[in-house]
Amino acid sequence: MVVKIPYYIIVLGTAGSGKTTLTSMLMNYLDSHQMDVAAVNLDPAVEELPYNPDVDIREWVDAREVMVKRGLGPNGALIASVDMLALNIGELKDEVDSLKSNYIIIDTPGQLEIFAFRDSGPVVLRTIIGDSKAVSLFLIDGLYALKPSNLFSAMLLSASTFFRIKYPQINVFTKIDLLSEAEYSGLLSMIENPEELASRVVEDADINLMWSSEEVYGLAEKLYSFESVPVSNNSGQGFDDLYALIQRVLAGGEDYLTEEPNPLL
Amino acid sequence: MVVKIPYYIIVLGTAGSGKTTLTSMLMNYLDSHQMDVAAVNLDPAVEELPYNPDVDIREWVDAREVMVKRGLGPNGALIASVDMLALNIGELKDEVDSLKSNYIIIDTPGQLEIFAFRDSGPVVLRTIIGDSKAVSLFLIDGLYALKPSNLFSAMLLSASTFFRIKYPQINVFTKIDLLSEAEYSGLLSMIENPEELASRVVEDADINLMWSSEEVYGLAEKLYSFESVPVSNNSGQGFDDLYALIQRVLAGGEDYLTEEPNPLL
């Protein structure tokens, strides 16, 4: 007997890294390859979404309402509304459990920090996902990552997030359609080669670095334990590779265990 | 001739790490030791401050106003208002330059992410500070850091922030007055000893770690390049040590170069 449990895909990243558009594109991708897919929106402050969430935290918590009802400023309202996610987790989990999809994509609040580095984010994820398998996609803006010190910073941030969210994690470089060919190959050479990144970080003249290039290389090498994939949320470029990586993490490279053979891979 | 230039102290950290209260306590500390000190508030969304800023970004940008005038939600308003810091940097810098204090403390926006990982934060700091010397204090909530994986995550976040802000950086563990004696010595043993932290991170049962304990130790060792100091913003405990560390970074352990001998150190 094959038990049909969902796989969870958690979409993480700083404000503007492309979380909602990646969620939308990944839904289309999986759907167009005959996979059942559903999306959960956990951002109580999002104003518009490019996809229709199957479960939406705004049914219970809305940041604008929190602001008005509690007399908070925008910052206080944002923090309070994300902290409040955990209060409605029972009902939210019931709705998610009723979805019966192969893949459930969890889109997280606009700002990484109030979700990943405060109590409620990890608790909410753990409750929703339970014993199912999950993978985190850590989104990094490809334009931002062109600068070596930014890329290094983003990879450290990804590792920092991993130690809070604690699911296997993939670094996803977004917006590659906005890069020139030279920029794209420069980015690729850094994300594929820790030595290249380390030497470019050390060359970066405006850093008064306390580390030697060997030490930066040592750090970089560790950070390369995370798999990386460049994608475009507009053109869909890279989504075959992204799906293959997700699949490798979730099912150890095996096809998804459904009654039907998986049309992909 | 001794040139009197200010030293800048940048206060960084996630929402709730204690930035405004540390700014307030550090002002009192320096003031009570006969040092000229001024504070700059760079948070356009802060509602109340426990100190009187000498220069206040809210004179030019207020997140609530941005929300109303631009018809944005709380999240959009927060991001837009921090992005707008750079628009008023000329006037702000003129005000800061007129301060003539020995120490100028720069208190940053409530959320680290929109300041450190977006364009305007580093640009604004670089413009204000110019060729003067500066040190970053990266605040970590001492209660949060009791859990080994949280501490490790916070140290990675600190390193990630360093590669954006790029001034010498000190990790400051706050709220130690809220810790029991046993908790405090547990925290100390982890922040003083990378081997202890690494082994406790690896023991942490709820992580499916892709790294061996040697690899975690290797990472931890690098992250210990940042000096650490535990403080209480309520009792003032640890502020002598914090000042000594700041002084070591800013003046290489020398006293502040004023016409008058420095009463401290």
Q: What is the pLDDT of residue B264?
A: 47
Name chain B contacts of A149, Cβ cutoff 8 Å. Answer: 163-164, 166
Distance CA B217, CA A225 (A): 15
**B116 found inside a domain:** yes
Total domains present in chain B: 1
Closest CA to B221 of B248, B192, B245, B246: B192
**Residue of chain A with shortest Cα separation from B169:** A210
Query: B156-192 burial, b for 16+ CB within 10 Å, e for fewer?
Result: bbbbbbbbbbbbbbbbbbbbbeebeeeebebbbebbe
CB atoms inside a 10 Å sphere around CB A192:
11
Instruction: Look at residues B158, B135, B133 and name the one whose alpha carbon lies nearest to residue B145.
Output: B158
Question: How does residue B208 score in pLDDT terms, banded at 50, 70 and 90?
Answer: low
DSSP class of B110: S
B167 DSSP 8-state letter:
S
Query: Which residues, 6+ apart, have CB-to-CB distance to A35 below 8 Å?
Result: A102, A103, A256, A262, A263, A264
Q: State the pLDDT confidence band at B218, using cuts at 50, 70 and 90.
A: confident
Which of B15, B113, B160 comes nearest A156 by C-beta?
A: B160
B75 chain-A contacts, CB cut-off 8 A: 15, 45-47, 63, 74, 78, 110-111
CB contacts, 8 Å: A14 with chain B: 113, 117-118
| Domain containing residue B103 | 7-251
Instruction: Report whether pLDDT(B101) > 70.
Output: yes
- DSSP string across chain A: ------EEEEEEESTTS-HHHHHHHHHHHHHHTT--EEEEE--TT-S--SS--SEEGGGT--HHHHHHHHT--HHHHHHHHHHGGGGGHHHHHHHHHT---SEEEEE--S-HHHHHSSSHHHHHHHHHHTTS-EEEEEEEETTGGGSHHHHHHHHHHHHHHHHHH-S-EEEEEE-GGGS-HHHHHHHHHHHH-HHHHHHHHHH-TT---SS-HHHHHHHHHHHTTSEEEE--TTT-TTHHHHHHHHHHHHHTTPPP--SSPPS--
Q: Kindly state whether residue B259 falls inside one of the protein's structural domains.
A: no
Q: Does residue A257 sit within a domain? A: no
**Does position B240 have pLDDT exceeding 70, yes or no?**
yes
Q: Quick one: tokens of B264?
A: 């401290």
Q: Does A199 map to a domain?
A: yes
User: Along the 265 residues of chain A, how does pLDDT read in single tens digits?
Assistant: 444 479 999 999 999 999 999 999 999 999 999 999 999 999 999 999 999 999 999 999 999 999 999 999 999 999 999 989 988 899 999 999 999 899 999 999 999 999 999 999 999 999 999 989 999 999 999 999 999 999 999 999 999 999 999 999 999 999 999 999 999 999 999 999 999 999 899 887 666 667 777 888 888 888 888 999 999 999 999 999 999 999 999 987 555 544 444 444 4
Structural contact between residues A14 and A44, judged by C-beta atoms closer than 8 angstroms: no
In a domain, B213, yes or no: yes
Judged by average pLDDT, the poorest of A204-213, A224-233, B100-109, B140-149 is A204-213
Give the CATH number for residue A112.
Answer: 3.40.50.300
Preferred mutation among B131, B163, B227 to probe A, highest tally of A CBs within 10 A? B163
CA angle A239, A244, A245 (to 5 degrees): 95
Q: Cβ–Cβ of B215/A201 closer than 8 Å?
A: no
Distance CA B43, CA B51 (A): 13
**Within-domain flag for B256:** no
Banded model confidence at residue B224, pLDDT cuts 50, 70, 90: confident
Q: At CB < 8 A and 24+ separation, what contacts does B255-263 make? A: B256/B7, B256/B35, B256/B102, B257/B2, B257/B3, B257/B4, B258/B2, B258/B4, B258/B102, B259/B2, B259/B4, B262/B35, B263/B33, B263/B34, B263/B35
Q: Is residue B264 part of a domain?
A: no
Tokens found for residue A214: 């060997």
Contact B14 A117 (CB under 8 A): yes
Structure tokens at B100: 């003539």
- Cα–Cα distance for residue pair A182/B81, rounded to 1 Å: 34
Instruction: Report ipTM (2 d.p.).
Output: 0.93
Structural domain contains residue B187? yes
B-chain CB neighbours of A153 within 8 Å are: 117, 160-164
